[in-house]
Amino acid sequence: MTNNYKKFKKESEKVGFDLHHRKKIKFNMSKYEYAVDTGKAYYSNIELAKSSASLIKQVSIANLDKLLKEFERNFTKNGGLVFWASDEKEAKDHIINLIKKHNIKSVVKSKSMTTEEIELNYLLEKNKVEVLETDLGEYIVQIANEKPYHIVTPAMHKSKKEIADLFHEKFNTPKDSTPEYITNYVRNKLRNKFLNADAGITGGNFILAEQGAIALTENEGNGLMTTSFPKIHIAIVGIEKIIPGISDLDILWPILATHGTGQRISAYNSIFTGPKKNSETNGPEIMYVILLDNGRTKLLAQPDQKEALKCIRCGACLNACPVYRNIGGYTYNTTYSGPIGSVITQHLKELDEYKHLSFASSLCGKCTEVCPVKIDLQKLLLYNRRDIVEKKRTTKIERLMMFAYKKAMLNRKYLEIVPIDFKNKVLRSFGQKAWGKRREIFELKESFSEQWKKRIRFNSN
């Protein structure tokens, strides 16, 4: 059992029975569910919209190499610069070089999971660059010295009171500050930072090949400020975000908003085609895009699981997942949590360290049902499990038990040889552990054959 797995088991046990945590998540999720139901009602045919979005992403992934090159050509023509990063280290090297080249001392950031993936904040702080999250949720987790709890709502695990207490502790704001007070406080605090930052760093929701542009969607306007005021804009984007062009946003933007937050469309949707032109007054003088692979091509090489690259990171599968709702976002110990995190993490990172996540699912299928790009998530979890078994990454004892189980199930004789008391003993000692200490293990009274014989006798009387 790896340390990661041990930690996962310990944390899920702890968080799963934390009633205060459950109450907060339940409250926040109920608001989300209501908003999404309302948002979906605006579609005359939501299934058709989901199929169209799925097809766009499928075609994009199938043509990933061509589209990425097309993007590079067009973005360069627009005056921008593209860097390719095959892994976290290369991405970090590019950033360090840019920090040195432009003498960057302060950075404002808009919400981006790719930057979480490479632990950008830590890197910047280590290099004495002041970094400030400008999305309110991200700002809250930054000052709390935490990581995002959820890919769309980073501070979902905190109640209003906990946030007010945090601000009181950090900034001496009134103890009973309202969300409005805190929002205004952060807005004022950030304003100067936007004006004075040397660089703005963002992610990107979509990469537009035909226009050579990055599309960014957000609700607070902080993304727009991050890219408008600083002279340098650096976008760090996963390569799977590529789509053919601007017309595809017709469906992708609304479907992302509806499934992410229940909106018909997010409040701010921007397209960055490169640095500002001579005729333009706003925008950065220099724009870089770092295209991050970091295991994505490894996932692309998996014929059955590459479908996961269609993900638009709306977070709907996390919100729907009964496992996520109980054990919470931090237990996964990954950048991407919930069903999609369980599917992709073992491909993006070390298989042995994260393979347990593919088994942490009841396979109820709710995630697949809600996914706006129709990723068959529970099937992909099963493919992951299959690969783990085929690659012999399970423990010896598990393999031995499955071998014995298979033998017995394929031949009733073997099952009957074992006395019922011994079977109960095995169930109590090994089964109880897997079944969990809080659930009562069942007791076998008689074998299937004995039951069957009784039934035949009963029916023939």
Residues that bind ligand SF4 (CB under 6 A): 311-317, 340, 370-373, 375
- How many other C-beta atoms lie within 10 A of the C-beta of residue 69? 12
Q: How far apart are CA 210 and CA 72, in angstroms?
A: 10
Q: Where are the alpha helices (DSSP H) in 230-376?
A: 249-261, 296-300, 316-320, 322-327, 338-348, 351-354, 366-370
Minimal distance in Å, beta carbon 152 to ligand SF4? 8
Q: Which is nearer to ligand SF4, 215 or 340 (CB)?
A: 340
Q: Which is nearer to ligand SF4, 193 or 313 (CB)?
A: 313
Q: Which is nearer to ligand SF4, 241 or 313 (CB)?
A: 313
Strand order in the sheet with 268-272: 242-243, 206-208, 213-218, 268-272
Minimal distance in Å, beta carbon 437 to ligand SF4? 31
Token pair listed for 105: 């001392």
Angle of helix 338-348 relative to helix 377-390, nearest 10 degrees? 30
Tokens 């299959």 sit on residue: 386
Q: Which is nearer to ligand SF4, 295 or 372 (CB)?
A: 372
Minimal distance in Å, beta carbon 49 to ligand SF4? 13
Burial degree of 112 (CB within 10 A; 0-12, 13-18, 19+): buried
Q: Which is nearer to ligand SF4, 291 or 370 (CB)?
A: 370
Minimal distance in Å, beta carbon 372 to ligand SF4? 6
Residues in the chain: 461
Q: Which is nearer to ligand SF4, 227 or 342 (CB)?
A: 342
Minimal distance in Å, beta carbon 271 to ligand SF4? 21
Minimal distance in Å, beta carbon 259 to ligand SF4? 6
Q: Which is nearer to ligand SF4, 222 or 258 (CB)?
A: 258
Specify whether the CB–CB gap between 144 and 166 falls below 8 A. yes
Parallel, antiparallel or unpaired: strands 213-218 and 268-272: antiparallel
Q: Which is nearer to ligand SF4, 124 or 316 (CB)?
A: 316
CB half-sphere exposure, 405, CA atoms < 13 A: 9
Minimal distance in Å, beta carbon 345 to ligand SF4? 13
Specify whether the CB–CB gap between 401 and 407 falls below 8 A. no
3-state secondary structure 365-396: CHHHHHCCCCCCHHHHHHHHHHHHHHCCCCCH
End-to-end CA distance of the chain: 54
Minimal distance in Å, beta carbon 374 to ligand SF4? 8
